[in-house]
Amino acid sequence: MPVTAAAPLDDPVNPVNPVELSRGRVTIAGRDILRDVSLEVHPGEFLALMGPNGSGKSTLVRALTGLNPLSAGALRLFGTPYASFRDWHRVGFVPQRASAASGIPASVWEVVASGRLTRRRLLRRLSHADRAAIDDALETVGLAHRKQDGVTTLSGGQQQRTLIARALAGEPELFFLDEPTAGVDLPNQQALADALHRLKDRGATIVLVAHELGPLAPLVDRTVVMRDGEKVYDGVPLADHEVHGPVFFGESHSHHHHDEPVHHDHGPVPQVDAPLERSQEGS
Amino acid sequence: MTAWDLFSLPFMQRALLAAVFTGLAAPAVGTYLVQRRLALMGDGIGHVAVTGVALGLVTHTSPTWTAVVVAILGSVVIELIRERGHAGGDVALALLFYGGLAGGVLLSGIGGKSATTLQEYLFGSITTISAGDVIVTMVLAAVVLVVGVGLAPQLFAVAQDQEFAQVAGLPVRVYNLLVAVLAAVSVTVAMRTVGLLLVSALMVIPVATSQQVTRTFRTTLAASMVLGFVASLGGLVISTFASYHATVAPGPTIVLLALACFILAWPTGAWLRRRRAALPTGGATDV
């Protein structure tokens, strides 16, 4: 069995979108952290979700994985409504983690192998295809030589790559990565970028949450910028300084809501970053 | 009669069987609890199980079975409170633990049972275990072992990273409840061996010991089970020999032997960690 990240599309002429979110809202403790966000991700696209801390970018990607349930709106994955979606082996998720460690020692191989469970049946031994996919995932992130080592002996950046390899092991077509470059040194960011480049070349669809793109910038096909739980930009890739510059986050931000006039004024609600989400993102 | 003759006596053989099965099963579940940083969960379930034992004593049914039922109910409640992750969950758990312990002591008093009867369950009384209880212990321990080892890939994944497991489509809640129920079952299995108040020790100490020297999950799980086995069997044998000179209870001996293993392993672990940190491949600059 060939080890590839992407399976053939359902319909080559009219491919189905891996992600379709329409007017999605996430409410946590009575606060709307995500407000009526619509987002379509097309097959093979590399989408960067950007914005400052507390803007809702992490919440959005967590909503797309189902970790933050929608309080309103609709989510379709590969054309299937979320409630009846079962093909989780088509989805790879790299959560925001400072470390790949838990309370018990685990080798790099073991952590990566746990990502293969999406395709394994209960009480079955690993097949040749399983082992090949795990080895390929380790190879892709450049950690094959460390597979027998404990994850805690790895640097922060290497642990992030371990988590990416774990998502890769299930050979998904759609990747969600939540701030994989946060707190990672430049050489490791470059190694990460190389791994994602290989995924992109295989035709995988990638949704990446990032505060700053750094070496990932050349991979991006499309940028979505979030602010205060709303989508304020969706279009051609932007550089880091443009996302965090005055266009979106200057004193005057009256011009970026032109397509959604309702949210123009927040009324008596003070303009603050959502503290709930900020603590979540900072964890 | 020499100590070796003692081991040919039926009550001693029952005790040996109970010790072996308990020693293997308790660390198997304990590994997942430690992995999820819930090392004290076994202790909490042990407290709740006291009420179960008392219910059995008062109603003149088997305390083992009432303890199993109450411990499972308690573990499910604990897991549901934990799952919600409220700030008050911590306090809710404490209330449950103390309620379970106080309720058990009060109930057995009302039922006219002396403190010594309850003490058999609080601190273990492996040499008074009945043939029926040995069979129950062995069967329950076997169930714990089969599930804990057989579902190791799934239980590992869920304990390692719950959110990842959820997005991978694993029934996270089912596995979390399964671990809670397994913990409850091992608590009742270990109840007669080391007692409800020391149950957690047999679930956690062998795990803490083995992870001093291991670096993979598989070896940690296996080594914990071996250490639990050695501690239970060794503790029972030591207490039997020592009983010629003084009153040496098997339960605490087992726990202290497990602790002694930890104290021996800890310097080795510290040395290994320092050596690994010094290796060039362990450095942060390696890409």
- From chain A, pick out residues whose CB is under 8 angstroms from the CB of B160: 102, 106, 111, 114
Q: What is the mean pLDDT of residues A59-78?
A: 93
Give the model confidence (pLDDT) of B234-244 as tens digits: 999 999 888 88
Distance CA A280, CA B21 (A): 43
Judge whether B280 is closer than 8 Å to chain A, CB to CB: no
Least Cα distance to B14 among B113, B132, B111 occurs for: B132
Place of tokens 């040499």: B127
A274 lies in a domain? Answer: yes
pLDDT of A131 over the 60 cut: yes
Tell me how crowded residue B14 is: count the other CB atoms within 10 A of its CB. 21
Give the model confidence (pLDDT) of B242-274 as tens digits: 888 888 889 999 999 999 999 999 999 888 888
CA contacts within 13 A on the Cβ side of A34? 26
Distance CA A123, CA A126 (A): 10
B266 φ/ψ angles, rounded to the nearest 5 degrees: -60, -50
pLDDT of B220 reads 96
Would you call B133 exposed, middle or buried from its count of C-beta atoms within 10 A (0-12, 13-18, 19+)? middle
CA A147 vs CA A106, A137, A248, B81: distances in Å: 10, 11, 43, 37
Least Cα distance to B51 among B106, B128, B91 occurs for: B106
Report the Cα B109 to chain-centroid distance in Å.
Answer: 27
- Residue B196 makes CB contacts below 8 A (sequence gap 6+) with B46, B47, B49, B50, B53, B121, B122, B187
C-beta atoms of A66 and B156 within 8 A: no
Mark which residues 73-112 of B lie under 8 Å from A by CB: none
pLDDT of A80 reads 93
C-beta atoms of A106 and B211 within 8 A: no
C-beta atoms of A142 and B215 within 8 A: no
Closest Cα in chain A, distance from residue B4 (Å): 39
Domain ranges in chain B are 3-276
Q: pLDDT class for A267, splitting at 50, 70, 90? A: very low
Report the Cα B145 to chain-centroid distance in Å.
Answer: 12
Give the model confidence (pLDDT) of A218-228 as tens digits: 999 999 999 99
Closest Cα in chain A, distance from residue B12 (Å): 35
Q: Are B78 and B94 in contact (CB under 8 A)?
A: no
pTM, two decimal places: 0.86
Q: What is the mean pLDDT of residues B27-45?
A: 92
Question: Which of A15-19, A173-177, B82-86 ranks highest by mean pLDDT?
Answer: A173-177
Q: Are A229 and A198 in contact (CB under 8 A)?
A: no
- From chain A, pick out residues whose CB is under 8 angstroms from the CB of B169: 86, 88-89, 118
A12 lies in a domain? Answer: no
Three-state DSSP state, A226: strand
Best mutation site among B34, B151, B164 for testing chain A: the one with the most A CBs within 10 Å? B164
Q: Six-digit token pair at A171? A: 């050979």
Domain range spanning residue A155? 19-282
The structural domain count of chain A equals: 1
Distance CA A228, CA A272 (A): 8
C-beta atoms of A95 and B285 within 8 A: no
Judge whether B31 is closer than 8 Å to chain A, CB to CB: yes
Give the model confidence (pLDDT) of A207-219 as tens digits: 999 988 889 999 9
- From chain B, pick out residues whose CB is under 8 angstroms from the CB of A188: 287
C-beta atoms of B169 and A111 within 8 A: no
Distance CA A282, CA B9 (A): 62
A63 lies in a domain? Answer: yes
Mean pLDDT, chain A, whole residue set: 82
- From chain B, pick out residues whose CB is under 8 angstroms from the CB of A122: 151, 154
Give the model confidence (pLDDT) of B186-212 as tens digits: 999 988 889 998 889 999 999 999 999
Judge whether A97 is closer than 8 Å to chain B, CB to CB: yes
A8 lies in a domain? Answer: no
Q: Six-digit token pair at B105? A: 């002591």
Tell me how crowded residue A272 is: count the other CB atoms within 10 A of its CB. 10
**CATH number of the domain at B3-276, please?**
1.10.3470.10
Who among A91, A97, A105 is closest to B215 (CB)? Answer: A105
CA B158 vs CA A90, A218, B101, B153, B164: distances in Å: 19, 35, 30, 9, 8
Closest Cα in chain A, distance from residue B126 (Å): 30
pLDDT of B141 reads 95
Q: pLDDT class for A155, splitting at 50, 70, 90? A: confident
- Residue A237 makes CB contacts below 8 A (sequence gap 6+) with A48, A217, A220, A221, A222, A223
C-beta atoms of B36 and A103 within 8 A: yes
Who among B156, B166, B214 is closest to A114 (CB)? Answer: B156
The separation between the first and the last C-alpha atoms of chain A, rounded to the nearest angstrom, is 39
Q: What is the mean pLDDT of residues B24-46?
A: 92
Distance CA B224, CA B205 (A): 8
Distance CA A5, CA A168 (A): 7
C-beta atoms of B153 and A120 within 8 A: yes
pLDDT of A11 reads 55
CATH code of A53's domain = 3.40.50.300
Distance CA B106, CA A129 (A): 59
Q: What is the mean pLDDT of residues A10-24?
A: 80
Give the model confidence (pLDDT) of B57-68 as tens digits: 889 888 889 999
Mark which residues 206-235 of B lie under 8 Å from A by CB: 207, 211, 214-218, 220
Residue of A nearest to B147 (CA): A123
Closest Cα in chain B, distance from residue A219 (Å): 21
C-beta atoms of B220 and A153 within 8 A: no
Q: What is the mean pLDDT of residues B2-27?
A: 89
pLDDT of B282 reads 42
Residue of B nearest to A184 (CA): B284
